[in-house]
Structure 1
Amino acid sequence: MTEILLGLLCSTGQLTADNDHGRKIVEPPKHLLIALWFLATPECYRSVSNCFGVTLSTTHKTVRRVKSALMALQDQFIQWPTGNKWLKGYVSCSSSLMTPYRDTGHLTPVEKKYNARHSSTRSLIECSFGLLNEKWRKLQYMDVLGIPDACNFVYAACILHNVLLASDGIEDGALLPQDIDDCAPALAEESVGNAAHTKRNNIAALL
């Protein structure tokens, strides 16, 4: 698995051997190991640099290079839905997060179906985040500067997850969180504008 991943990363041209201020050159395999350790544990950059015997600046550069290499693989391992497929995984408005219909005992069949889809989608998303957080513990302890950098780390973790699935697979349920709240329809309906209600009604009619 490591050889496959290393080959993919090297093919991007983002990994280069680094001379650590006169010390032994950091080769691509060590780049990968440093980055994997950083993502898979809650340890800080300094702790990782001590563990691998490299300077703090080299650890920063190494993780950044591997992250860039992973981002370069996104077209191979990340597939975004198109057209009406967005309805299966994206139910937000431009101004606020879309909520389920409040169940007062008088929901129409269309509204009940929408709430069921909303709940199942929310559960799927929470399970996905649970998988990522269990495997890549750094996502639980983000110590990066800026939202774009944090988003790129999440993106890199998703790509790594998909590479593992494509190569070895993951045992069903092995990393799922213990308690997933499937009660999305019970959430209180926030006060949203007419545009949000209209969009929700349109989506419900298409399901």
Structure 2
Amino acid sequence: MERNTFYFLLHLIGPQLKNFPFIGREQINSTKQLLIAIYVLATPDSYRSICERFGVARSTAWFSVKRVVRALYSLRNCFIRWPNYEEAETTWTNMQRLYGFPKVLGIIDGTHINIARPKRDANSYINRKGRFSMQLQVICKHDLSFIHVFAGMPGCVHDMRVFLYSGVQQYCTPEFFPEDSHLLGDAAYSIQKNVMVPFYDNGHLTRRQKEFNRNLSSARTIIERAIGLLKGRWRYLLDKLPMTRTDLIPYYVVSCCVLHNICLLKNDAIEIPVVVPEMLHEMEPLAITNELREEGNVKRNRLMEIIANNNFQGPVPQSS
């Protein structure tokens, strides 16, 4: 993290860190609390090593990280929010220019955050690879920033079920998807008017269907880059979270997503590492009806024709 990004963060959450009461006699200032938290989230290191590096007790380091995470989580709606019309228009314009796919408001995908064996319901958190994990669903724009995140579902839960509980289905209205725009997802999601997924490859796809799938797959590399950047910068999420309380883990995960967006906002760039990708609130899931699926199929066929015609006419010139 660059120095100006750090001081921007300190200005945002410094007052909150001062107001948190300390437990015990040892007290440290807001700057040191934030330095400790950033180091912990960005470096997979033991608390013993961290305490030696910063010259603090283990409890002081742990409470400092907890305070910073709580302050960052409180800012989630400021830095991770659904785009307005102008922002959505910018995204779908850039997506069509770069990948030839029209009216893309965002790209959706899920990834597993490996965790230590939970204290409760451990078997529910075993994913298909036999590891303990928690689901993180993210939606990103063309610039790799997140417009929606949802963390907390156990690793055994299917991506589509996570989608239904995340609240995104409630967003599938003209108010949130202007001009018949949509998200791009992989085959794990169900097709509907506002979520486009590839044609199922049964070995008999037409040329135009294959073109559609290629364009969609090419555009979806953005979400893989976004997840790679998130885990590559905040490596606390990359290996295995050393936490067993599943009620606290989502706060740390979402806080890292807030930091991800803040760094992009401040043009604090790093080289995107190669990482293979795999907000807690109560919400009743909405079912994907046959009518919604049929609307999605009709729209997908229409988009397939648009993409085929654009490919026939040649690629759209890109500005230098």
Distance 1:17 1:203 in 2: 52
Give the gaps of 5 or more residues in structure 2.
Answer: 84-175, 192-196, 278-287, 304-320
Residue 67 of structure 1 corresponds to 69
Residue 9 of structure 1 corresponds to 13
AA at the equivalent of 1:5: L
Residue 137 of structure 1 corresponds to 235
Shift of 1:199: 7.4
Residue 201 of structure 2 corresponds to 102
Residue 87 of structure 1 corresponds to 182
AA at the equivalent of 1:133: K
Distance 1:44 1:203 in 2: 51
Pairing partner for 1:177 from 274, 292, 300: 274
Count of matched residue pairs? 187
Shift of 1:73: 1.6
Q: Secondary structure at the match of 2:62?
A: helix
Contact 2:17 2:67 in 1 (8 A): yes
Pairing partner for 1:21 from 17, 20, 24: 24
Residue 41 of structure 1 corresponds to 43
**CA distance change for structure 1 residues 105 and 155 in 2, over 3 Å: closer, same or farther?**
same
Higher strand share: 2
Distance 2:266 2:273 in 1: 20
Shift of 1:5: 1.1
Greater RCO, 1 or 2 (C-alpha within 8 Å, sep 6+): 1
Q: How does 1:161-172 map to 2 (within 5 A)?
A: 161-170=260-269
* Cα offsets for 1:154-201 (capped at 9, x unmatched): 221121122122223426xx2242889xxxxxxxxxxxx995975763
* Cα offsets for 1:112-144 (capped at 9, x unmatched): 465235423542221111111211111113112
Residue 204 of structure 1 corresponds to 300
AA at the equivalent of 2:203: T
Shift of 1:3: 1.6
Contact 2:47 2:61 in 1 (8 A): yes
Residue identity over aligned pairs, in percent, reads 28
Give the aligned CA root-mean-square deviation in angstroms: 3.4
2:128 is the counterpart of 1:124: no
**CA distance change for structure 1 residues 146 and 83 in 2, over 3 Å: closer, same or farther?**
farther
TM score, norm. by length of structure 1:
0.71
**CA distance change for structure 1 residues 14 and 21 in 2, over 3 Å: closer, same or farther?**
closer
Q: Secondary structure at the match of 1:88?
A: strand
**CA distance change for structure 1 residues 148 and 201 in 2, over 3 Å: closer, same or farther?**
farther
Distance 2:80 2:237 in 1: 19
Contact 1:77 1:163 in 2 (8 A): yes
Q: Secondary structure at the match of 1:30?
A: helix
Higher helix share: 1
AA at the equivalent of 1:21: G
Give the gaps of 5 or more residues in structure 1.
Answer: 181-192
Q: Secondary structure at the match of 1:152?
A: helix
